[in-house]
């Protein structure tokens, strides 16, 4: 290792971290990756790997690394790790130079209700919402229009899988039955929202990199196919009717903060208008589409180049393994999948990389 070689720490080892690991390594950085054994980036040929088995391992490991190299540059590539560190190790944000940056902004975006309060200030539509802990025997349930959807307002589980998953409640009886099954901690972290429809093709995202609340690079995408709710198998750049509004609201929303880092802002079209669903303040699952759109993405976000050329083609991203399962259940989608698959110059994959094959085969194994 050269004494002058730049170093960076990445916390979390999912597909987003794998992208960052490869990109930073290929521009000459010495990368250290912290993750669990089963996370996909731990199988890459790049970087030095540090294994954690439980959340209890994470804090002493990071503390030790900070003593060796104070204020080291650090990327957090997982929403779960980010939530855990915010809650249980706030010193992390002072002993490392952390991206995503700005704790105040993170405290807003890691909580849906806080995000909606900010959206209110810029006149951005969002679903009417209430914490389950606020529902009591005195609640007037006639004020709710059913069905309603119940989802996490913020992450409270890291290494253990939560018993609750997002669900649709069709009436007051369903809601009360659900309410009785939950512990107080869960009721304080679950939110009920007006249901904006089941058509996932009305879901759009604005993926971007911001620096102190100002846009550096961004792309609007349509989530054209889903492996399951909240997990896309294929997305494509969106330039249609709502693209300008989605971009403007995203820039305006993040501009209310001093946020620095990658993020994606999720919207759903409802009654002919974009509604904000949530902001994910971390590198997003389809992040490689940004590299396809902006070939010099990482050097540009680092300030190591002054020009950020933009691919003029409409770009696409797919998780080929998930997408094969999706089209197997719905053969009508095969033509679109094949069109995307053979779009060699305008399509990218999430894990596949000819120069780093092991993560892809590990994904197949899993």
Average confidence (pLDDT) over 288-308: 95
pLDDT score for 155? 80
- Write down all domains in the chain, each with its CATH number in brackets: 7-99 (3.40.50.20), 128-194 (3.30.1490), 200-365 (3.30.470.20)
Residue 33 has what pLDDT? Answer: 98
Instruction: Reply yes or no on whether the pLDDT at 3 is more than 90.
Output: no
Average pLDDT of span 287-315 = 95
CA distance 43 to 54: 19
| 11-15, 25-29, 119-123, 228-232: least confident range | 228-232
Sequence-ordered list of residues with C-beta below 8 angstroms from that of 292, at least 6 positions apart, any chain: 311, 315, 317, 346, 347, 348
Q: Which residue did the predictor score with more confidence, 159 or 287?
A: 287
Structure tokens at 274: 């974009």
**Over residues 325-343, mean pLDDT:** 94
Q: What percent of the chain has pLDDT over 70?
A: 97
Q: What pLDDT was estimated at residue 122?
A: 98
Task: Return the pLDDT at 2.
Answer: 56
Residue 125 neighbours by CB under 8 Å, 6+ apart: 119, 270, 273, 274, 275, 276
* Average pLDDT for 263-282: 97
Least reliable range by pLDDT among 38-42, 153-157, 333-337, 357-361: 153-157
Q: Nearest 5°: CA angle at 110, between 239 and 219?
A: 15
Find the mean pLDDT for residues 40-63: 94
Q: Which residues contact 92 (CB under 8 A, 6 or more apart)?
A: 62, 85, 98
What is the rounded distance in angstroms from the CA atom of residue 131 to the CA atom of residue 112?
Answer: 10
Query: Which residue from 170, 169, 173, 176 is spatially nearest to 150, judged by alpha carbons?
Result: 169
The per-residue pLDDT for 201 is: 85
In the predicted model, what is the mean pLDDT of residues 325-338? Answer: 94
pLDDT > 90: percent of the chain: 87
- How much is the average pLDDT of 127-154? 94
Residue 69 has pLDDT above 60, yes or no: yes
Q: What local confidence, expressed as pLDDT, does residue 165 receive?
A: 80
User: What average pLDDT does the structure give for the chain?
Assistant: 94
- 54 confidence band (pLDDT: 50, 70, 90): confident
Using one digit for the tens of pLDDT, what is the confidence trace for 199-208? 888 999 999 9
Least trusted range by pLDDT, from 3-12, 156-165, 250-259? 156-165
The reported pLDDT for the residue numbered 159 is: 55
For 340-362, what is the mean pLDDT? 95
DSSP, res 101: B
In the predicted structure, residue 184 carries a pLDDT above the cut 70: yes
Q: What is the mean pLDDT of residues 233-260?
A: 98
3/276: higher pLDDT: 276
CA 362 to chain centre: 22
What pLDDT is stored for residue 188 in this prediction? 93
Q: 185 versus 114: which is more confidently predicted?
A: 114
φ, ψ dihedrals at 270, nearest 5°: -140, 130
User: What tens digit of pLDDT does each residue of 78-87 get?
Assistant: 998 999 999 9
């Amino acid at each position: 290792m050269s004494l002058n070689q730049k170093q960076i720490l990445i916390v979390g080892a999912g597909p987003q971290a794998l992208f960052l690991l490869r990109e930073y390594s290929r521009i000459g950085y010495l990368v250290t990756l912290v993750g669990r054994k089963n996370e996909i980036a731990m199988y890459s040929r790049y970087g030095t790997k540090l294994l954690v088995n439980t959340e209890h391992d994470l804090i002493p490991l990071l503390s030790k690394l900070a003593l060796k190299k104070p204020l080291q540059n650090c990327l957090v590539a997982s929403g779960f790790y980010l939530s855990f560190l915010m809650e249980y190790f706030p010193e992390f944000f002072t002993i490392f130079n952390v991206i995503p940056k700005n704790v105040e902004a993170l405290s807003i975006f890691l909580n849906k209700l806080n995000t909606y309060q900010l959206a209110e200030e810029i006149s951005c539509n969002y679903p009417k919402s209430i914490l389950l802990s606020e529902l009591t025997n005195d609640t007037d349930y006639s004020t709710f229009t059913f069905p309603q959807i119940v989802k996490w307002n913020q992450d409270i589980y890291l290494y253990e899988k939560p018993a609750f998953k997002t669900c649709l409640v069709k009436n007051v009886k369903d809601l009360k039955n659900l309410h009785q099954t939950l512990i107080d901690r869960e009721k304080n972290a679950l939110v009920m929202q007006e249901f904006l429809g089941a058509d996932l093709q009305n879901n759009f995202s604005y993926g971007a990199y911001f620096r102190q609340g100002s846009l550096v690079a961004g792309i609007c995408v349509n989530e054209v196919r889903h492996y399951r709710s909240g997990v896309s198998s294929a997305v494509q750049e969106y330039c249609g009717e709502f693209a300008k509004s989605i971009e403007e609201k995203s820039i305006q929303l993040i501009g209310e903060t001093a946020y620095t880092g990658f993020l994606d802002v999720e919207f759903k079209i409802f009654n002919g208008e974009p509604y904000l669903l949530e902001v994910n303040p971390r590198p997003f699952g389809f992040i490689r589409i940004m590299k396809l759109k902006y070939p010099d993405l990482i050097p540009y976000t680092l300030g190591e180049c002054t020009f950020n050329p933009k691919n003029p083609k409409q770009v696409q991203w797919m998780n080929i393994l998930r997408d094969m399962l999706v089209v197997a259940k719905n053969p009508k989608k095969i033509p679109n999948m094949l069109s995307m698959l053979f779009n060699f110059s305008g399509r990218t994959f999430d894990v596949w990389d000819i120069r780093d094959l092991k993560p892809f085969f590990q994904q197949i194994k899993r």
